[in-house]
Amino acid sequence: MAERSWLELAADDPFGVHTLPYGVVETEAGRQPAVRIGEHVLPLRPACQALLAHRAGLFAAGSLDALLAAGPDVWAEVRGAVTSWLTDPAHRTTIEPLLLPLAGCRPVLPFTVADYVDFYASEHHAGNVGQIFRPGQPPLTPNWKHLPIGYHGRAGTVVVSGTPVRRPNGQRKVGDAIGFGPSLRLDIEAEVGFVVGAGADRPVPVADFAQHVFGVVLVNDWSARDIQAWEYVPLGPFLGKSFATSVSAWITPLVALIDARVPAVPRDPKPLPYLDDAGSEWNLDLALEVRLNGELISRPPYSSMYWTPAQMLAHLTVNGATLRTGDLYASGTVSGPEPDQRGSLLELSWGGAEPLTLADDATRTFLLDGDEVTITATAPGPDGSRIGIAEVTGRILPAG
């Protein structure tokens, strides 16, 4: 039976003791690393000073960087202690006075983003994009099923959920003319991100994935499709992607997702040995939901992804690229086989040819100024429960 907290939480609260995501909040006392429990926040430094003194130094700074770097044995120790504090009534008199209301705290980016890599791991998304842009040709490029395709993004423009996103300016091709101005085809990409804790100076085998990845966030990799289309040949995404990438304020520890592990999808051809994950698959049964101005427009299933996060990490490091604490890599757009499971407006509107009709009869092909996009997700937890992956949200501001 799943553990229960002495806090008065609903039995189906997605942020109960089986979740316990980590974040950093701005309070009157400054920036404090914390754990979320229901609609409360537990600052970790004072809690550790009272009950786990030798780990209090991990939370002395206003980020999770020291905890991420400490490695999986320390992650397990801290999570075990926090779980005990919130479930054992003997700790209530110490912990309860430290709890803060979530609504009164302002979340900030909880870790220093060292590098950012975005992959292209959904066969359904890649196939849809191929059909849209290369009609009459094979939807997948010849290399797609041999390796996880990705590109290096811009770590400096990764922003925390709730940060407004300004419409980017850039070059775009309209007919035969080349113009400059605000993007007219601003899009979303519903993704799952993986936050690296323990670094490495050697290739990371797929079997070592959980020794290096601390946890999971949701990602919206905002995309200016018109800028992207003009610039990406021959070197790939650049200004059409680098203006903003939004991530959840709370990191769900990888260990909280053990019950969400599912077999990898069938692959043909068989991956090369360094990508062969037979017996150690890390596919995840995450149910994403995408809302535009509060209206549900898509339900992408992460379980349909072709390449797993363990394979992405193995490929990212196989050439000798170092892995650093705070590295963030994302899955690429999560899309399923059905029309209502597409994780981008590019797909939902089929390149703009089939506008999406909303409940108020308004239509969208791409985002308008003032639009707000929210991505949420849940996953299987212990004993049939569901755990939550903290949302990522952002509102579009006019171009500057």
Catalytic residues: 125
SS (H, E, C) the chain: CCCCCCCCCCCCCCCCCCCCCEEEEEECCEEEEEEEECCEEEEHHHHHHHHCHHHHHHHCCCCCHHHHHHCHHHHHHHHHHHHHHHHCHHHHHHHHHHCEEHHHCEEECCCCCCCEEEECCCHHHHHHHHHHHCCCCCCCCCCCCCCCCEEECCHHHEEECCCCEECCEEEEEECCEEEEEECCCEECCEEEEEEECCCECCCCCHHHHHHHEEEEEEEECCEEHHHHHHHCCCCCCCCCCCCCEEECCCEEEHHHHHHHEECCCCCCCCCCHHHCCCCCCCEECCEEEEEECCEEEECCEHHHCCCCHHHHHHHHHCCCCCECCCCEEECCCCCCCCHHHCCCHHHHCCCCCCCEECCCCCEECCCCCCCEEEEEEEEECHHHCEEEEEEEEEEEECCC
Question: What whole-number distance in Å separates Cα of residue 52 and Cα of residue 56?
Answer: 7
